[in-house]
Amino acid sequence: MVSFAIVLAAVSYISQAIAAPSYVAHPERTAAVKEVFQHAWDGYYTYAFPNDTLRPISESYENDRNGWGASAVDALSTALVMGNQEVVDQILEFIPTINFDLTAPGREAVSVFETTIRYLGGLLSAYDLLTGPLSEYGQGHEAVKALLDQATHLADILSDSFDTPSGIPRNTLFVTPSGTRPSDDETNGIATIGTLILEWTRLSDLTGDPKYHELVQKAEDYLLSPLNPELGEPFPGLIGTNLNVTDGLFVDSSGGWNGGTDSFYEYLIKMYLYDSEKYKFYLERWITAIDSSIEYLTSHPTSRPDITFLAAYRGANDLNFVSTHLACFDGGNFILGGLTLDRKDYIEYGLELVNGCHETYLATETQIGPEVFRWQDSKLPPNASNNQPPPAEWADFYEDAGFWIQWSSYVLRPEVIESYYYAYRATGDTTYQDWAWDAFVAINATTRAGVGYSSVSDVNAPGGGEKTDFQESFFFAEVLKYSYLIQAEEAPWQVSADHDNRFVYNTEAHPLRAKGNPI
């Protein structure tokens, strides 16, 4: 209940003024985040580089992202905003040596989405920072130009995946020594289709070659204006998950804000921030989706009516009271849009969502939230087939917490801290800095293991249960960047509350330079 009072306080603050709150920097906290970054990097650089991912317990590596050095590329924009010249140098030396024509043995299947958000986003962000406000870190490096050349070459390779009757890409493309080969995927999802538009548009704007933008825009059009809305758009602006790459029709009506759909909605408002002249229709679609989410998906748990979560859906008449760590970016996205539009109601609603995700951290043994959680909705009858009470072993936990855990792992995900960051930038309320710091301390205490940081199996067991020996590249790109920025000094890449955003963050937390100031 304490935290509910805090949110109400933040809300009343907001209703007085949206623009330009004052911020506090915490040098001792940013120093601690830098120490964690260095430790994670040293483990990776010693035991895994130039492979993709560190296995910190076994002191080995995995090429889960095709063997192009995913952690190095993902770490670069964070090393830059932290001002870590030594790590910037190590990564910049590596960039020109990446051979995107060749995958690691057995790793020919390339995800167009993952490659776009991690590699293309990482390269373009570093290019924007090094040709912009952080040019001093790139001096004498051939690699600054190589960042853009490599990004362009990578996009040229990935372009083959758009060669379908509809123009919707297949998410899987095989990159082999004899060239690329399409997969036989018949469908693709709205997150994997709709989370290319920012990176590929930026590439077109940087190179002056419109073809990258045109490819992804053609695919995005099927999401912005569904051809079969009777199936594909169960609520206004809220769409299904998968589309047929042959005819461009939706094949289901399921969706919400979880993995598989999440960053499609995220990028609608971010495209408007990127270029508010060109992407007004994206803004309209975002507003429609947000209004429907508030009207149809808002849910409060029976045991904790003070908490707000967003339900998922399987068609308009079947809500599914489940949410995820991934979905916890939603509060931050509502807030970003609220700031952009001067919509206090969206900011207040976003702060409620942020509070809900904070509760998932507060309730567990490790003070870290779980991968998947459920609750019983307070509006629907408690015996409805989609609204069952918790399993008996979770009854007590649910009574206090307002959710129960369906999948208990934590894989070094950023979304809860990401939303604290937007909440703080919108309000200047230092409560959100403290929440981010508490989460960071808990993550450091629970996941620091072996020569780096490891995913854990159970956030509600002492020590997080088993260490599952995997340090995801987004720990560098996202967790450590948002943990740092929320405590850091003002800078041109900090999110602004007063319509002056010079950068837009891709879904992997790589800041890309906005085309003009929005509004």
Answer for which of 251, 294, 411, 461 binds ligand NAG (CB under 6 A) is 251
Nearest to 190 by CA among 250, 234, 236: 250
How is residue 35 written in tokens? 């120490």
Cβ atoms of 262 and 191 within 8 Å: the answer is yes
Is there a catalytic annotation at residue 393? no
Query: Mutual orientation of helices 197-207 and 143-158 as an angle, nearest 10°?
Result: 120
Contact between 69 and 77 under an 8 Å Cβ cutoff? The reply is no
- Nearby residues of 322 by Cβ (< 8 Å), 6 or more positions away: 258, 311, 312, 372, 373, 374, 406
Query: Quick check: 46 binds ligand NAG (CB under 6 A)?
Result: no
Enter the tokens of residue 284. Answer: 């309209």
> Which of 3, 60, 187, 367 is close enough to bind ligand NAG by CB under 6 A?
187
CB of 103 to ligand NAG, least distance (A): 8
Q: Is 220 a catalytic residue?
A: no
Query: Which are the contacts of 119, defined by CB distance < 8 A and separation ≥ 6?
Result: 65, 68, 70, 73, 154
* Residue 383 sits in the site that holds ligand NAG (CB under 6 A): yes
Please identify, using beta-carbon distances, which residue of 39 and 153 lies nearer to ligand NAG: 39
- The interface with ligand NAG within residues 48-87 (CB under 6 A) comprises 50-51, 61, 63, 67
144 binds ligand NAG (CB under 6 A): no
Cβ(218)–Cβ(231) below 8 Å: no
Q: Give Cβ neighbours of residue 145 (< 8 Å, ≥ 6 apart).
A: none
Using rule CB under 6 A, residue 161 touches ligand NAG: no
Active-site position among 220, 352, 415, 478: 415
* Cβ pair 467, 406 in contact under 8 A: no
Annotated catalytic residue 472: no
Among 441, 461, 466, 500, binds ligand NAG (CB under 6 A): 441
Q: Exposed (0-12), middle (13-18) or buried (19+): which is 400, by Cβ within 10 Å?
A: exposed
Nearer to ligand NAG, 294 or 441 (CB): 441
247 binds ligand NAG (CB under 6 A): yes
104 lies in the binding site for ligand NAG (CB under 6 A): yes
Among 394, 408, 397, 416, CA closest to 456: 408
Kindly state whether residue 386 participates in binding ligand NAG, applying the rule CB under 6 A.
no
In the list 58, 183, 246, 517, the residue contacting ligand NAG (rule: CB under 6 A) is 246
Q: Is 248 in the site for ligand NAG (CB under 6 A)?
A: no
Handedness of CA 86, 88, 89, 93 (dihedral sign): positive
Name the burial class of residue 265, with classes exposed (0-12), middle (13-18) and buried (19+) by CB atoms within 10 angstroms of its CB: buried
The catalytic position among 262, 352, 377, 508 is 262
Q: Of 114, 330, 377, 429, which is the active-site residue?
A: 114
Per CB under 6 A, the segment of 153-161, 246-254, 259-267, 333-341 that binds ligand NAG is: 246-254
Is residue 381 within the footprint of ligand NAG (CB under 6 A)?
Answer: yes
444 interacts with ligand NAG by CB under 6 A: yes
Smallest gap from Cβ 247 to ligand NAG, in A, equals 4
Is 221 noted as a catalytic residue in this protein? no
Q: Which amino acid is at 369?
A: G
Site size toward ligand NAG, by CB under 6 A: 18
Active site residues: 114, 262, 371, 415
The site for ligand NAG (CB under 6 A) is made up of 32, 50-51, 61, 63, 67, 104, 186-187, 244, 246-247, 251, 381, 383, 441, 444, 448
